Amino acid sequence: MKKNLYTADASAVGGRSGHVRSATGVIDLEMSVPEGLGGKNGATNPEELFAAGYASCFQQALLVTAQRNGDTLDKESTVTCSVTLFQEGEGYGLSAILDVDLKKFDEAKTIDMVRYAHKICPYSVGTRGNMEVELRVQGKPVPVQAEENAGVAGK
């Protein structure tokens, strides 16, 4: 049974060369095409915002995973998310790489935790089957089974 927990609202004006603002006012940012694609310095872009949100959300999924296992994460553990905008034919798409460094766990345990977090993270669930997401532990690719990237978590 689906239970809504929270809804975030934000508005955009002017597309990639405009402005975004959240209903709370916490986000109030100028937008630009990425500087490397001819945009202006000092403004953000949708890919940067997506990367920040995904990294934060995945870190939380790792915290939940550790807690469920009776563990805690090192305070210096990190999730780095790289989001790539690409063009394919007339359309555009995104891909992401999540690179995790949990600091205190061995590689095998970290991989297990990353794979489980990928099953429960709302961003991972939301993108599953819609965009390529690569998982890494300290730069090394984590093997992901096809069924782990298809469908909704837990199904």
- Grouping H, G, I as helix, E, B as strand and the rest as coil, residue 49 is helix
User: How much is the mean pLDDT over the chain?
Assistant: 92
**Which residue ranges form the domains of the chain, and what is each CATH number?**
1-44 (2.20.25.10), 46-149 (3.30.300.20)
Can you give the pTM of this predicted structure?
Answer: 0.91
Between 56 and 147, where is the model more confident? 56
CA–CA separation, 88 and 149 (whole Å)? 21
Reading the block at residue 93, the tokens are 């798409």
Per-residue pLDDT at 40: 87
- Grouping H, G, I as helix, E, B as strand and the rest as coil, residue 3 is coil
Whether residue 145 is predicted with pLDDT greater than 90 in this model: the reply is no
CA–CA separation, 105 and 12 (whole Å)? 41
Banded model confidence at residue 148, pLDDT cuts 50, 70, 90:
low
pLDDT digit string, tens, across residues 84-110: 999 999 999 999 999 999 999 999 999
CA–CA separation, 1 and 78 (whole Å)? 32
No. of helices (H) and no. of strands (E), the chain: 3, 7
Per-residue pLDDT at 143: 82
